Amino acid sequence: MNPVTEEIYAEKLNDPRWEKRRQQILIRDRFRCMNCNCNENLQVHHRQYHYLPNQKRFIEPWDYSDEVLITLCADCHRKGHAQYVVPVKFIHVKPLKHIL
């Protein structure tokens, strides 16, 4: 598995598609940390990462479902990453067969 470097991941978090997705989750969570209920320094956390072994890559940050994304303040986000390892789920996608 090829982990995404922090530099590449940081670039992806500046992508307009992530900004839009992030905004959707912040609105859903009413601009509050779902752990401590504060409303400052909010970030959107991926509860798990999805890896596509056939393509040897992770899915894009903005392509995750709502259930996997949660709003956390920077402090709770940092503490969570220090205490827990984010699980990786392998997504096996069967290639489409051409029908002719």
Over residues 33-67, the pLDDT tens digits come to: 999 999 999 999 999 999 999 999 999 999 999 99
- Residue ranges covered by each domain of the chain: 6-90
In terms of phi and psi (left: phi > 0; alpha: psi -120 to 50; beta: otherwise), the region of 31 is: left
pTM, whole model, 2 decimals? Answer: 0.84
What's the rounded Cα separation, in Å, for the pair 84 and 3?
Answer: 17
Tell me the residue type at 24: Q
